[in-house]
Chains A and B, each alone.
Chain A
């Protein structure tokens, strides 16, 4: 950091409390290998699984003091893949994720609390396709060697984010609930 900026950054860090006041919380690094964000939609009862190939995370968390931490995600909506050529061609369109207008989906935590050993609840704001909604995400953290693996799942309602419009609003064709699962390999996280 450039020296003249220090005073300013310290001030902004204090203003941004409680996140930055905790000295031990250094940013953890997301390891692409071993990390995955996938989701399951239901078409007329048929589970269809997709995943996002590109995403990044800013994780500032001391697992011993989770309430001081913060987690932010940025997901490239254009990296959504079902593995079916037909669906992969469809999903970037305006009806679905509208990748041209909304190339990224984001998550920003607002509160993190411990709910048990290695278990946390991350509340935050999820933004997809220009709509933002609160979600609470249960996270389980396991550590092996230098790698901490965070896993969890939560359910969102696609129509709250205008994903699938027109005839596709019919939830008997395409369920409103979309299950999101993640597995994130992190290095540099403090011990549990």
Chain B
């Protein structure tokens, strides 16, 4: 039996890393654009950013679906030994992150449809509306999209903080499983 230490051999696959970092970039970028665009007055810039934000949200949904499928069909590398409460907290955080990867874009999509602005991906492909045009529904959905996006941002911060703690405090090689440059 191979007893090699996890920090030297057990890493995520190239596909898992690519999906992780692509999604990380897309989520941070889309979140920042979302925070900024709502402050703009009616302008071409606002219109562009709203549409880019929506397109990015659809891409996030697609990446997340691919990532979930990959995760369900591939065993992740073993993590270094951690206290049970930390393992449970990590598992809970990951579950919530995956849930929000879907919930936040879907709420945004529903809000957009309900407001009477269907999503046309890249300005070319019209996406279906899964809720009717309904201004009251739109107003009800709007804050949830924002709250859950901020919840997702908070979990991302927690996720990054935990990874950095493992790397700089515990020095247990956990970060090397997902950080391409670390072995």
Question: Are B116 and A45 in contact, CB atoms less than 8 angstroms apart?
Answer: no
Task: Tell whether B123 is near chain A: CB-to-CB under 8 Å.
Answer: yes
Q: Which of A23-31, A132-140, A167-175 contacts B (4 or more CB under 8 A)?
A: A167-175
Q: Which of A43, A45, A86, A90 contacts B124 (CB 8 A)?
A: A45
Task: Tell whether B43 is near chain A: CB-to-CB under 8 Å.
Answer: yes
Cα–Cα distance between A89 and B115 once the two chains are bound (Å): 16
Task: Tell whether B48 is near chain A: CB-to-CB under 8 Å.
Answer: yes
Question: Are B118 and A46 in contact, CB atoms less than 8 angstroms apart?
Answer: yes
A125 to chain B, nearest CB (A): 31
Task: Tell whether B44 is near chain A: CB-to-CB under 8 Å.
Answer: yes
Task: Tell whether B51 is near chain A: CB-to-CB under 8 Å.
Answer: yes
Q: Which of B42, B44, B124 has the most CB of A within 10 A?
A: B44
The digit string for B118-132, where 1 denotes a CB below 8 A from any CB of A, is: 111011101000000
Given contacts A83-B135, A86-B42, A90-B42, contact A43 B116 (CB under 8 A): no
B38 to chain A, nearest CB (A): 11
Question: Are B123 and A45 in contact, CB atoms less than 8 angstroms apart?
Answer: yes
Task: Tell whether B35 is near chain A: CB-to-CB under 8 Å.
Answer: no
Describe A's contact surface by its main secondary structure.
Answer: mixed
Question: Are A48 and B117 in contact, CB atoms less than 8 angstroms apart?
Answer: yes
Residues in chain A near residue B44, CB distance under 8 A: 167-168, 170, 173
Given contacts A83-B135, A86-B42, contact A47 B47 (CB under 8 A): no
Question: Are A44 and B51 in contact, CB atoms less than 8 angstroms apart?
Answer: yes
Residues in chain B near residue A49, CB distance under 8 A: 116
Question: Are B116 and A84 in contact, CB atoms less than 8 angstroms apart?
Answer: yes
Interface residues on A, range: 20 to 34
Task: Tell whether A82 is near chain B: CB-to-CB under 8 Å.
Answer: yes
Cα–Cα distance between A46 and B123 once the two chains are bound (Å): 7
Chain B, range 43-60, C-beta contacts under 8 Å to A: 43-44, 47-48, 51
Give the residue name and chain of the A residue nearest to B117 (CB).
Answer: A46
Question: Are A44 and B120 in contact, CB atoms less than 8 angstroms apart?
Answer: yes
Question: Are B117 and A44 in contact, CB atoms less than 8 angstroms apart?
Answer: no
Question: Are A48 and B116 in contact, CB atoms less than 8 angstroms apart?
Answer: yes
Residues in chain B near residue A173, CB distance under 8 A: 44, 47-48
B127 to chain A, nearest CB (A): 10
Chain B, range 121-176, C-beta contacts under 8 Å to A: 122-124, 126, 133, 135
Question: Are B51 and A46 in contact, CB atoms less than 8 angstroms apart?
Answer: yes
Chain A, range 59-92, C-beta contacts under 8 Å to B: 82-84, 86-87, 89-90
Give the residue name and chain of the A residue nearest to B42 (CB).
Answer: A90
Residues in chain A near residue B47, CB distance under 8 A: 43-44, 173-174
A50 to chain B, nearest CB (A): 10
Give the residue name and chain of the A residue nearest to B122 (CB).
Answer: A45
Question: Are A84 and B118 in contact, CB atoms less than 8 angstroms apart?
Answer: no
- Which residues of B come within 8 Å of A, CB atoms? 42-44, 47-48, 51, 115-120, 122-124, 126, 133, 135
* 12 residue pairs bridging A and B, Cβ less than 8 Å apart: A44-B51, A45-B123, A45-B124, A46-B117, A46-B118, A48-B116, A82-B116, A84-B115, A87-B42, A167-B43, A172-B123, A173-B44
